[in-house]
Amino acid sequence: MDKNIQEKIDKWLTGNYDEVTKEGIRSLQASNPDDLADAFYKNLEFGTGGLRGIMGIGTNRMNKYTVGMATQGYANYLKKCFGDNVKVAIAHDCRNNSAAFADITANVFAANGITVYLFEALRPTPELSFAIRHFKCQGGVVCTASHNPKEYNGYKAYWDDGAQMVPPHDKNVITEVEKIASVDDVKWSGGEKNIIIIGKEVDEAYLDMVKGLSVYPDVCAAQHDMSIVYTPIHGTGIMLVPAALSRYGFTNVHIVKEQSTPDGNFPTVIYPNPEERETMSIGLKQAEALDADILLGTDPDADRVGVGVKNNKGEWILMNGNQTALLAFNYMIEARKAKGIAKPNDMVIKTIVTTDMIDVIAKANGVNCYNVLTGFKWISSLIKEKEATENYIIGGEESFGLMIGDKIRDKDSVSAVTILCEMAAYEKNKGRSLFDKLVDLYVQYGFYKENLVSITKKGMNGAAEIKAMMETYRSNPPKTIDGMEVKELLDYELQVGKNLSDGSSWKIELPKSNVLQFVLADGSKISARPSGTEPKIKFYFSVNTTLASAADFEKTEKLLDDRIDRIIAEMELK
């Protein structure tokens, strides 16, 4: 055993840790020393979004001690910034231990003299963002690991605008958390009187906000019996999505029974991620059996949404996150204009790895479209920067996230589900489907096709492998990809864009982020981005061409898919 690792283990065996934890360590020492080393070889990092990791014993795991120490550091920073009059809101999802972690978080905050608004039971992550703004809090926490497998849990930290933290607060909180060297530095109890239990009143205010986003309530009324299938995938969406759809007037909503009960073991799926066809398979079968109009699924903390529709052959398909985003962006731009409520200073915001087709749509409609780094905290930060001069409508990213309206500052699948159903009702009112609308947009603006390859590198060596991969691309970028010249290299870590043909360069006016983008001569784009929350590196591919007519859709789609497949093969990513 490495000396440093052994010292950490000994500290837990002799320190103020409960006997169950100590017995667990001794059991691993005897049965699985490699797992024990992995549990202690580093501290679970409090990153710019908070904590996320496998649950278990050790400094590199999610447990009551790592959660408590993180909360103490966060509490110290909040009090540094705001003095003694600090309020926070706390929520949790359906995951195993999430409720316990939320209680620990609440107790530590409260013991530090902080007023805590604690949800009575599980709630969607976006409602936590809403609650921070509703109660005028200085911060907040939701205990969730989003769409990760069941072994994971996490801790998302928020600032006073209801968004996850951006500089300088993110790094400053990390500094304070790292100062907590021992569980003895944590105030674990003693402030219970500072905890206020919340629930229905916030639900009602939040649902009123969601209802206020509707552009065509009359269309929803006309198509109230449109057939909708919804699955919460054992998560928190069941708490609010059905109620939100009811407020929109939809009366023919079918909940996927097998996945309707909150359960942190996610018994019907491998990954509780609506991006995965396997995860949505039960919903797809039900939608097909009912001949439904639309299928929707939300992840465990109800911030991401997956969408199923029938294609022009009547087959059920899952739209990817880019397709969902461009439909939603276009609807909010187009419908507001048709309704006469568009403003000259309307703006939309997307991330740098989300389809450029949104930029094209926005420009054609005279709406400013801004590109930010991946993560809704950057969308929220730009809203804050521009809210005095521009009117935010919608933001989103390719990873199945949308944020409609500015009353919350994180991705929100509850409002996304309702607006997507309104969009489907709008098209059905004209005798069409959402898929028909998607193809029409391709004909009008160009056919943009995207794909994603995610490579997992686990364990102690994983981070080093990902780092080496990025450095190779950074120092030795390819000259051609699939026979097409690489014209530009955009390095967001160095904040420099380079024209590889003539050597010229320019500054990228965004915060530093370890992302590389290769822009090819035909406008295709390949992006490489290590995940900030998982041991993964993600590669994003975007290619485009013109689509002469809806009749050419399948043929043109195959050409684009083949192009992406060749690029993936050439880059040896499969």
In 305-372, DSSP assigns E strands to 305-310, 316-319, 346-351, 368-372
Tell me the angle at which helices 434-445 and 321-339 cross, rounded to the nearest 10 degrees: 90
**Contact yes or no for 167/511 (Cβ under 8 A):** yes
- Is residue 146 part of the annotated active site? The answer reads yes
Q: What are 383's two structure tokens?
A: 């809203």
Contact between 323 and 438 under an 8 Å Cβ cutoff? The reply is yes
Residues 6 or more apart whose CB falls under 8 angstroms from that of 227 comprise: 252, 254, 290, 291, 292, 293, 294
The 3-state DSSP class for residue 119 equals strand
Q: Following CA atoms 193, 117, 262, 152 in sequence, which dihedral angle do they give, to the nearest 10 degrees? A: -90
Following DSSP, what letter does each residue of 258-287 receive, concatenated? GG-S--TT-TT-SS--TTSTTTTHHHHHHH
Distances (CA, A) of 535 to 48, 143, 377, 433, 538: 15, 20, 21, 38, 10
The full DSSP string for 489-512 is EEETTTTEEEETTT--EEE--S--
Q: Contact 396/350 with Cβ under 8 angstroms?
A: yes
**479 alpha-carbon distance from chain centroid:** 33
**Catalytic pick from 129, 146, 380, 415?**
146
Q: How far is CA 445 from CA 288, 356, 553, 561, in A?
A: 31, 11, 14, 18
Backbone dihedral angles phi then psi of residue 525, each to the nearest 5 degrees: -140, 135
Phi/psi of residue 125, nearest 5 degrees: -55, -45
Structure-block tokens of residue 70: 């993180």
Residues noted as catalytic: 146
